[in-house]
């Protein structure tokens, strides 16, 4: 079955929408409403046209099916993800302003839809009332004309009706469905068979339907013309009112409403951006403060502008900065093992006395001759010199994986937890002795006091935990093995590292030891076997280095007229690590000039690149100094070990 198999007879109009249509026909053999044979044919043709419409719609849907794939191709799911990412990455200010504008636009749109729908409904109701009055007038005149077969009076009434604006057509049809009188004389006697015509002929009461007349939308009112008794249908009166005026009126209202809405949206846009700026400015200020804190700078606080929720948040942030300052200051008084214990038990309520058995390697160091030295120095000089050497030892212990348990005067007690850490403790001890030796040489050149330390190590089981009272605790280690390490420290001479047999038995052949005479220590019945560490593998450099980031000017060998800038990342008297703007290969000759804080004169030296690496798009070069003067060497050593001490005179 194809759509082309059907014929569509000429129609007066095309039905768009039918309101209150009654399509039921009653055939009476002897009545005035009997359906003639030509009417049956018209009904059949109308059914054929309806079937044709269904087939055309089905074919249209089938033809549109590929377009769904086109839509999926044009708007994949990834596009929605991109929109989400775009919106989520927008500034809070734009989100707030956009949300307010969206709410305002939705409110205006909703109000417009309700207003226009109500207005259109009222206008359509008025239009139907008008059409009903006019078609009733035409039906009254048409009844007499159909009974007397006189059309002049009906035609005159139609012309009077058309004088009312908006009436596009008016007609009276007889009982057979033919035009009896029409505003267009050429239509007289014509049998109308369009869908709208059939609906009008089939109606048993006032019928309103939306039709298209000469390409323009119209509202038709159709009213059956019946005898007084109501049992004989004489014909049908029909009037069509143009909907153009209705649509024009609605369109004008929409334009006016749209202009007013745009004005409100513009005002709302200004207000929303101003409001969002007021709301987000403190948030931006707070975000900048957070960035400063994230870089480790706790010296700044955020100014509080408002007393609202954001102001309270800012006050809480400032309080957090103060708490972090306190925490950082307190951490300097606590060892890493204490901090680990606190973090481990922070959710378990109150801290309790007691501890746990652990295997550790204990390192004790002590300054030799400190008592006699301090008698010849002022307290300020003692503190300045002692802090330099204690700082040196604390850094080395941390670098080797240990933790300083406590500083007791000139003594350092450090702990290396776990088996296998004995060699790291030995390396730390050897690093301390080497760094102290180089520091002493530099301080001697500048006429400053030097300090030498003796170091003792022992390994074994101890109890680590909270010792003291419930009100004041000290997280430390206790046990005979700790006491033995302290005794070995006392037995060590200046510059010497003494270890027990327990430590010597665990280390590899890479450590060179020299056996010493057994010593009798307090608390032990028998002498203790001890060893001196002569050398150990994987020990650090001879000189300590300091992490830093300062500008360096350098020249490539042979290009003395070209000055380049780099950054020194760490520094020692033997060399430094440079972050360079361009790559420098191994063996490249450089002339360096470093300006160090608190050193008035810059340090100048030639250097050679020994290592080169590119990391995260940056070029790094490990350089060795070649002709560094003895003076500059000592200046760098002292600068690397420099510690700021402050003595406050109490009133």
pLDDT at 8: 34
- 473 versus 244: the higher-pLDDT residue is 244
Pick the last residue of a domain from 189, 224, 242.
242
120 contacts: CB under 8 Å, gap ≥ 6:
246, 250
How far apart are alpha carbons 205 and 208 in whole angstroms? Answer: 10
- 499 versus 175: the higher-pLDDT residue is 499
How far apart are alpha carbons 446 and 222 in whole angstroms? Answer: 120
The stretch 367-384 carries a mean pLDDT of: 87
Residue 577 has pLDDT above 80, yes or no: yes
387 within 8 A of 473, measured Cβ to Cβ: no
Instruction: Say yes or no: 368 and 503 in one domain.
Output: yes
Q: How many CB atoms are located within 10 Å of the residue 135 CB?
A: 26
Residue 494 has pLDDT above 70, yes or no: yes
352 within domain boundaries = no
The stretch 153-162 carries a mean pLDDT of: 89
452 within domain boundaries = yes
pLDDT band at 648 (very low <50, low <70, confident <90, very high): low
104 within domain boundaries = yes
Q: What are phi and psi of 165, to 5 degrees?
A: -65, 140
Instruction: Say yes or no: 495 and 362 in one domain.
Output: yes
Question: Of the ranges 205-214, 251-260, 269-278, 479-488, which one carries the lowest mean pLDDT score?
Answer: 269-278
CATH of the domain at 366: 3.30.70.1230
State the first-to-last Cα distance of the chain, in angstroms, to the nearest integer: 114
Q: How far is CA 292 from the centre of its chain?
A: 19
Residue 34 has pLDDT above 60, yes or no: no
Instruction: Say yes or no: 222 and 367 in one domain.
Output: no
Domain count, the chain: 3
Burial class from Cβ neighbours inside 10 Å (0-12, 13-18, 19+) for residue 276 reads buried
470 within domain boundaries = yes
627 contacts: CB under 8 Å, gap ≥ 6:
605, 606
How far apart are alpha carbons 596 and 592 in whole angstroms? Answer: 13
> Can you state the angle between helices 92-148 and 244-294, rounded to 10 degrees?
170
Q: What are phi and psi of 428, to 5 degrees?
A: -60, -45
282 within domain boundaries = no
pLDDT at 453: 94
> Can you state the angle between helices 152-162 and 92-148, rounded to 10 degrees?
160
pLDDT band at 87 (very low <50, low <70, confident <90, very high): low
How far apart are alpha carbons 554 and 590 in whole angstroms? Answer: 6
**Of 383, 500, 510, the residue nearest 451 (C-alpha):** 383
Instruction: Say yes or no: 631 and 508 in one domain.
Output: no
pLDDT at 336: 60
Pick the last residue of a domain from 535, 566, 592.
535
> Average pLDDT of the chain?
79
Residue 18 has pLDDT above 60, yes or no: no
How far apart are alpha carbons 516 and 530 in whole angstroms? Answer: 6
181 within 8 A of 171, measured Cβ to Cβ: yes
How far apart are alpha carbons 602 and 554 in whole angstroms? Answer: 13
Q: Of the ranges 43-52, 89-98, 116-125, 291-300, which is most confident?
A: 116-125
pLDDT at 432: 93
How far apart are alpha carbons 471 and 465 in whole angstroms? Answer: 15
pLDDT at 26: 33
**Of 154, 135, 136, 134, the residue nearest 146 (C-alpha):** 154
Pick the last residue of a domain from 535, 562, 584.
535
172 within domain boundaries = yes
Instruction: Say yes or no: 437 and 562 in one domain.
Output: no
Burial class from Cβ neighbours inside 10 Å (0-12, 13-18, 19+) for residue 48 reads middle
Question: Of the ranges 62-66, 572-576, 600-604, which one carries the lowest mean pLDDT score?
Answer: 62-66
Instruction: Say yes or no: 435 and 577 in one domain.
Output: no
359 contacts: CB under 8 Å, gap ≥ 6:
417, 418, 419, 459, 460, 461, 462
Q: What are phi and psi of 553, to 5 degrees?
A: -100, 130
Q: What counts of helices (H) and strands (E) characterise the chain?
A: 14, 20
426 within 8 A of 433, measured Cβ to Cβ: no
Instruction: Say yes or no: 525 and 553 in one domain.
Output: no
- 314 versus 45: the higher-pLDDT residue is 314
**Of 151, 153, 161, the residue nearest 188 (C-alpha):** 151
pLDDT at 50: 58
pLDDT at 428: 93
237 within 8 A of 207, measured Cβ to Cβ: no
The C-alpha torsion from 362 through 368 and 372 to 374, rounded to 10°, is: -60
Residue 47 has pLDDT above 60, yes or no: no
Strands lying side by side in the sheet with 179-182: 14-19, 207-213, 216-226, 233-242, 167-174, 179-182
- The 10s digit of each residue's pLDDT in 323-356 is 777 777 666 555 565 556 555 655 555 566 767 8
HEC per residue, 395-448: HHHHHCCCEEEEEECCEEEEEEECCCCHHHHHHHHHHHHHHHHHHHHHHHHCCC
pLDDT band at 497 (very low <50, low <70, confident <90, very high): very high
- 48 versus 508: the higher-pLDDT residue is 508
CATH of the domain at 591: 2.40.10.220
Instruction: Say yes or no: 526 and 550 in one domain.
Output: no
How far apart are alpha carbons 151 and 142 in whole angstroms? Answer: 8
Instruction: Say yes or no: 505 and 606 in one domain.
Output: no
Instruction: Say yes or no: 510 and 380 in one domain.
Output: yes
pLDDT band at 10 (very low <50, low <70, confident <90, very high): very low
141 within domain boundaries = yes
pLDDT band at 9 (very low <50, low <70, confident <90, very high): very low
How far apart are alpha carbons 26 and 42 in whole angstroms? Answer: 16
What pTM value is reported for the model?
A: 0.54
Q: Which domain holds residue 460?
A: 357-535
267 within domain boundaries = no
**Of 318, 240, 245, 258, the residue nearest 282 (C-alpha):** 318
Instruction: Say yes or no: 530 and 558 in one domain.
Output: no
The stretch 139-158 carries a mean pLDDT of: 88
**Of 419, 470, 446, the residue nearest 636 (C-alpha):** 446
Q: How many CB atoms are located within 10 Å of the residue 428 CB?
A: 30
Instruction: Say yes or no: 144 and 113 in one domain.
Output: yes
**Of 475, 464, 455, the residue nearest 411 (C-alpha):** 455
Q: How many CB atoms are located within 10 Å of the residue 476 CB?
A: 21
């Amino acid at each position: 079955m194809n759509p082309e198999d059907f014929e569509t007879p000429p129609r007066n109009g095309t039905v768009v929408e039918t309101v209150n249509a009654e399509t039921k026909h009653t055939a009476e053999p002897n009545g005035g409403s009997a359906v003639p044979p030509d009417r049956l044919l018209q009904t059949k043709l109308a059914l054929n046209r309806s079937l044709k419409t269904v087939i055309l719609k089905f074919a249209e849907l089938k033809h549109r099916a590929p377009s769904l794939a086109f839509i999926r191709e044009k708007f994949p799911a990834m596009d929605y993800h991109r929109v989400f990412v775009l919106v989520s990455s927008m500034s809070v200010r734009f989100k707030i302003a956009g949300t307010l504008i969206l709410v305002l636009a939705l409110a205006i749109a909703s109000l417009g839809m309700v207003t226009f729908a109500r207005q259109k409904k009222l206008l359509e109701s008025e239009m139907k009332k008008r059409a009903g009055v006019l078609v009733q007038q035409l039906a009254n005149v048409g009844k007499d004309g159909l009974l007397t077969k006189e059309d002049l009076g009906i035609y005159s009434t139609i012309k009077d009706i058309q004088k009312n604006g908006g009436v596009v057509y008016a007609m009276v049809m007889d009982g057979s469905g033919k035009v009896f009188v029409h505003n267009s004389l050429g239509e007289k006697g014509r049998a109308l068979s369009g869908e709208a015509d059939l609906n009008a002929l089939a109606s048993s009461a006032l019928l309103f339907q939306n039709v298209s007349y000469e390409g323009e939308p119209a509202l038709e009112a159709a009213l059956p013309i019946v005898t007084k008794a109501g049992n004989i249908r004489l014909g049908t009166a029909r009037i069509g009112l143009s909907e153009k005026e209705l649509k024009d009126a609605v369109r004008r209202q929409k334009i006016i409403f749209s202009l007013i809405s745009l004005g409100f949206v513009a005002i709302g846009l200004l207000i929303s951006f101003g409001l969002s700026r007021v709301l987000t400015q403190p948030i931006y200020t707070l975000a900048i403060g957070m960035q400063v804190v994230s870089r480790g700078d706790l010296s700044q606080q955020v100014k509080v502008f408002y007393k609202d929720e954001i102001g309270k948040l800012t006050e809480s942030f400032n309080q957090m900065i103060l708490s972090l300052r306190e925490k950082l200051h307190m951490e300097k008084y606590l060892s890493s093992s204490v901090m680990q214990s606190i973090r481990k038990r922070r959710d378990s309520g109150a801290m309790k006395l007691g501890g746990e058995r652990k295997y550790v390697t204990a390192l004790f160091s002590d300054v030799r001759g400190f008592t006699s030295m301090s008698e010849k120095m002022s307290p300020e000089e003692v503190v300045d010199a002692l802090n330099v050497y204690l700082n040196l030892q604390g850094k080395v212990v941390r670098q080797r994986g240990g933790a300083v348990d406590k500083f007791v005067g000139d003594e350092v007690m450090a702990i290396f937890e776990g088996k296998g850490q004995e060699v790291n403790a030995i390396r730390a001890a050897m690093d301390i002795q080497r760094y102290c030796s180089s520091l002493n040489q530099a301080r001697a050149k500048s006429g400053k006091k030097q300090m030498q330390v003796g170091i003792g190590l022992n390994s074994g089981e101890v109890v680590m935990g909270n010792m003291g009272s419930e009100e004041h605790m000290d997280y430390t280690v206790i046990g005979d093995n700790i006491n033995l390490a302290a005794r070995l420290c006392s037995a060590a001479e200046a510059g010497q590292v003494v270890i027990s047999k327990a430590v010597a038995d665990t280390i590899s052949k890479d450590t060179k030891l020299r056996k010493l005479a057994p010593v009798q220590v307090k608390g032990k019945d028998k002498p203790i076997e001890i060893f001196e560490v002569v050398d150990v593998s994987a020990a650090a450099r001879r000189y300590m280095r300091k992490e830093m980031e300062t500008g360096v000017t350098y020249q490539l060998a042979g290009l003395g007229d070209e000055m380049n800038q780099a950054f020194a990342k760490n520094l020692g008297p033997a060399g430094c690590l440079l972050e360079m703007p361009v790559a420098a290969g191994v063996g490249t000759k450089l002339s360096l000039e470093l300006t160090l804080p608190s050193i008035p004169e810059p340090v100048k030296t030639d250097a050679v690149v020994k290592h080169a690496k590119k990391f995260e798009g940056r070029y790094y070069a490990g350089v060795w100094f070649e002709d560094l003067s003895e003076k500059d060497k000592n200046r760098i050593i002292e600068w690397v070990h420099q510690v700021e001490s402050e003595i406050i005179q109490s009133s």
